[in-house]
Amino acid sequence: MKYTAPRGTKDILPDDSSIWQVVENVCRAVFGLYNYQEIRTPIFEPTELFARSIGDSTDIVKKEMYTFADRKGRSLTLRPEATAAVVRAGLENNLISTDNLTKLYYIGPMFRYERPQAGRQRQFNQAGIEAFGSNDPLLDAEVIQMAVKLFETLGLKELEVDVNSVGCKKCRPVYLEALKKYFQENIKHMCEDCKARFETNPLRILDCKEEPCQKYIAKAPAMVDHLDPECKDHFEKVVGWLGGLGVKFKINDRLVRGLDYYTKTAFEVVSKRLGAQNAVCGGGRYDDLVEELGGKPTPAIGFAIGLERLIEVLKSENKQQGMGHRIDLFIATIGDEARKVGFDLLTKARISGVRADTDYLGKSLKAQMKAADRLKAHYVYIIGEEELKKKSAMLKNMETADQKEVPFDQLFKDTGCDCGDDCKCSCEDDGCCD
C-alpha cells in the first residue's frame, strides 16, 4: 500500500519551504510597517458563517466548500477564505468598533473543492489583511499601496493594479437592472455558467473567462457609470489618493470579485507573468459585512494574497535565488578524537548563532566535503590528527576556495567577522558585520 497526498494538496518540501519562509517573513514585516497585527482563527467555522457572508449564489458556497457534520451533527466548514472568520473573531472578542481603526492580518491555509491546476489547489495558502472602522478613501489607497509595496519588497516586476468600484446596496440594484436588460437578448449565446448567473447574480457574468461570452461582456454597461453620488465621490477620492501616493494603476470597469460582500472599492494585483486570469492579490471594501454578521454597521476593507501563485511568479522571475537554505559552517573530522573536538566546536558555533552541521554517517573526508557542498556551507573547518596536536585547523571558504589557518579558540571570531553579506551569526552586536 502506497499513500499519496490527497488530490489538490501538495507537500511543501525543504527545497521550497525556505522560499515560503522568506515570503511569509516579508508579509509579516510589511504588514507590521503599516501597523497590522496578526490574528489566528480556527481552520473550521460553522457553515452558516460562510454561506451568510460569501453569498449563497457564489461558486464557493454552491460547489467548493468542504462541509462536514461533526459527531454531534453540527455543520462545520473548512474555511474557504479568512475574512468572514476574522469578522466573526473580531466581533466575538470586541476587537471591532466604530471609534477605532482595527488592523489585522492573517497567514494560513484555506480550502476549496476546485479542479486542481497549476497554481490552484484544494488546500492553498493566503496571507491577507482586514481593516475595520473607517470608510476613508485614503485607507483604500493605503491598503493597495501596501500590497504593491509587499510585491516590490519581494522583487516582483511586471505587476498591474486594477481598480474598480462595485457600488453599494443602494446603487448596485439599479446597475444590476441595467445589466440584466443589456444581457437579456444575448444570454442565450453565452455559457451555461453565465445563464445561471443571469438569474442569481448578473454582476458575476462580468467575471466570466469563457471565450464566447467575451464580446458580450466587452460592451456591457459599467458600474462606474451607475454609481450614486456617495459611491462616485468615494471612488474619485480613492483614485485621487492612489495617484497622490504614486501607485500605478488602471481603472478596470469589468473587475468584480467572486464574493458577494464587496462594496465600493474592488481591486486586484495581476502578474503579467501568469496571464490575465492570475491575480496574485485581490480585495476590496465590504462596508456591510460586519453588520450582516451581527455587529454594528462598521466600514471595512481587506485583501488576500494567494501564496502558491505568488511563489510561482517568484520562481518564474528567478527571484527565489538566495532564498534557499544554507549553513554557515560544516565541521569535517577524521578520527574519533577529532570528532569529539569537532562536536565541542559545533556546540559553540550554535551558541554563537552560527548555523553549523557535521557528518553523522562516518564518511570519508572527500565525502564529507561533498556533503558540505550539498548543504551550501559557506565554510568548512577540517580537523584531523595533525590539527589536534596544533589545536588549529584550516578554515576553507567554499565560494572562493581560500583557506587560512585558524586556531580552535579563534574560530568563531573568524567565521563571525568574515562571513560578509549573508552573515547569520550574532556578531552584528559589535557592529562588525554592518
To Zn ion, the closest distance from the beta carbon of 226 in angstroms equals: 9
Q: What is the C-alpha to C-alpha distance for residues 262 and 231, in angstroms, rounded to an integer?
A: 13
Q: What is the C-alpha to C-alpha distance for residues 68 and 73, in angstroms, rounded to an integer?
A: 9
Which uninterrupted H or E stretch holds 18?
helix 14-33
Q: Are strands 263-271 and 300-306 parallel, antiparallel or unpaired?
A: unpaired
DSSP letter at 240?
H
Residue 231, helix vs strand vs coil: helix
Q: Are strands 403-407 and 279-285 parallel, antiparallel or unpaired?
A: unpaired
Q: What is the C-alpha to C-alpha distance for residues 277 and 271, in angstroms, rounded to an integer?
A: 9
Does residue 379 contact residue 398 with C-beta atoms inside 8 Å? Answer: yes
To Zn ion, the closest distance from the beta carbon of 233 in angstroms equals: 10
Interface residues toward Zn ion, by CB under 5 A? 167-168, 170-171, 190-191, 194, 208, 210, 213, 228, 231
175 or 412: CB nearest Zn ion: 175
To Zn ion, the closest distance from the beta carbon of 234 in angstroms equals: 8
Q: What is the C-alpha to C-alpha distance for residues 215 and 209, in angstroms, rounded to an integer?
A: 11
To Zn ion, the closest distance from the beta carbon of 292 in angstroms equals: 17
To Zn ion, the closest distance from the beta carbon of 90 in angstroms equals: 25
* Helix segments in 43-136, DSSP class H: 47-54, 59, 83-92
Q: Are strands 75-78 and 67-69 parallel, antiparallel or unpaired?
A: antiparallel
213 or 406: CB nearest Zn ion: 213
114 or 357: CB nearest Zn ion: 114
Q: Are strands 250-251 and 159-165 parallel, antiparallel or unpaired?
A: parallel
82 or 224: CB nearest Zn ion: 224
Please name which of 209, 210, 211, 203 lies closest in space to residue 183, comparing C-alpha atoms.
203
To Zn ion, the closest distance from the beta carbon of 193 in angstroms equals: 5
To Zn ion, the closest distance from the beta carbon of 322 in angstroms equals: 43
Please name which of 319, 329, 374 lies closest in space to residue 349, comparing C-alpha atoms.
329
Does residue 398 contact residue 378 with C-beta atoms inside 8 Å? Answer: yes
70 or 211: CB nearest Zn ion: 211
258 or 353: CB nearest Zn ion: 258
To Zn ion, the closest distance from the beta carbon of 210 in angstroms equals: 4
122 or 197: CB nearest Zn ion: 197
End-to-end CA distance of the chain: 54
55 or 167: CB nearest Zn ion: 167
Distances, alpha carbon 255 to alpha carbons 147, 163, 175, 267, 348, in Å: 17, 7, 14, 7, 57
Residue written as grid cell 569537532: 342
Which uninterrupted H or E stretch holds 381?
strand 379-383
To Zn ion, the closest distance from the beta carbon of 136 in angstroms equals: 16
148 or 194: CB nearest Zn ion: 194
